[in-house]
């Protein structure tokens, strides 16, 4: 009996071997150019071993992608963060020998990536934004309204935010990066975002809620976003996301960014059952059980870029 079971297991292993080998060498995510993931406001590369893009880098690397995770200031203007990202892109190109990169930015990572594409389009093959603040956020507008420039409330908000960010930067190993909470706030308001887009219009829709140009200055533009706020009762952030989503009224949003504001270039989809943190597979993968995995979306985008020769 043992001999029969042993032979059966051996035969089964032989049958499955081609499938395992095909998966390991499928190259599904093997893009021509390296992928650089760019975090948003209060973001980080890793904190205590936990990815901001939770389990995304490993999933992309599994089938062939070269993946780098940017480390830019957790708070700062789009331009300041963009300059930090540009320096990292140049280092990545020097290390890999590649001519360009594919940038994927979440939240404020969207305008951060767009800045690099705007000032150095020769170094960027594509920009993909996920829940991107491309036309501002109502939440930022409200915060700016209750904490106007020069007010005591602004000073208090800046101090509290600054203290939080210092702790975050310490545990992420990026304590040497400058932090400018008020600059970040100004960049994320509707007024700030529209001023930024006037300087860097690549992929930005000219209509209120349409698609933008699929290509500008040789750079391809893509976007997707969620349109839900409360998605998983086990996620400790789902209630705060639901509360923030109330600021948008009947306007569809992911809790921090409206669906229309997230549009850029080719809109892949704008109605995923995901909130702003689900879009990066947080908290710790506690996302909706009734929607595609966020990790799968990043893998699909890598494959889309690969098929486009990027």
SS (H, E, C) 235-276: CCCHHHHHHHHHHHCCCCECCCCECCCCCCCEEEEEEECCCC
Residue whose entry in the numeric block shows the structure tokens 């021509």: 32
Handedness of CA 85, 90, 96, 102 (dihedral sign): positive
Q: Which is the catalytic residue, given 51, 63, 254, 270?
A: 254
The catalytic residue among 73, 107, 187, 258 is 107
Residues 164 and 284: beta-carbon distance below 8 Å: no
* Backbone CA torsion sign across 216, 299, 239, 74: negative
Determine the length of the chain. 310
CA angle 21, 59, 220 (to 5 degrees): 110
- Whether 293 is a known active-site residue: answer no
Read off φ and ψ for residue 114, nearest 5 degrees.
Answer: -65, -30
Catalytic pick among 39, 106, 263, 276: 276
254 is a catalytic site residue:
yes
Active site residue 126: no
Residue 221 near residue 197, CB atoms below 8 Å:
no
Query: Which residues are catalytic, by number?
Result: 107, 254, 276
């Amino acid at each position: 009996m043992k001999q029969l079971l042993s032979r059966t297991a051996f035969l089964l292993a032989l049958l499955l071997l081609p499938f395992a080998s095909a998966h390991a060498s499928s190259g599904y995510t093997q893009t021509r150019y390296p992928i650089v993931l760019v975090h948003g406001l209060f973001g980080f590369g890793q904190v205590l071993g936990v990815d901001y893009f939770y389990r995304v880098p490993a999933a992309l690397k599994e089938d062939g992608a070269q993946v780098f995770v940017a480390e830019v200031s957790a708070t700062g203007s789009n331009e300041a963060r963009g300059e930090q990202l540009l320096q990292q892109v140049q280092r990545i190109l020097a290390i890999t020998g590649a001519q360009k990169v594919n940038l994927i930015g979440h939240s404020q990572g969207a305008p951060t990536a767009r800045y690099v594409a705007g000032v150095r389009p020769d170094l960027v093959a594509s920009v993909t934004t996920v829940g991107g603040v491309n036309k501002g956020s109502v939440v930022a507008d409200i915060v700016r309204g209750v904490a106007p420039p020069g007010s005591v409330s602004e000073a208090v908000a800046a101090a509290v935010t600054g203290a939080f960010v210092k702790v975050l930067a310490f545990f992420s190993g990026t304590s040497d990066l400058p932090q400018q909470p008020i600059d970040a706030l100004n960049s994320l308001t509707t007024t700030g975002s529209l001023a930024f887009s006037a300087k860097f219009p690549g992929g930005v829709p000219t209509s209120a809620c349409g698609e933008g140009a699929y290509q500008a200055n040789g750079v391809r533009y893509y976007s997707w976003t969620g349109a839900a706020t409360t998605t998983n009762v086990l996620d400790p952030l789902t209630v705060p996301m639901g509360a923030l989503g109330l600021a948008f009224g009947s306007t569809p949003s992911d809790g921090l960014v409206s669906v229309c504001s997230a549009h850029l270039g080719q809109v892949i989809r704008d109605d995923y059952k995901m909130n702003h943190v689900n879009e990066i597979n947080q908290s710790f993968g506690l996302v909706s059980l009734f929607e595609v995995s966020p990790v799968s979306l990043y893998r699909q985008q890598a494959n889309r870029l690969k098929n486009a020769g990027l």
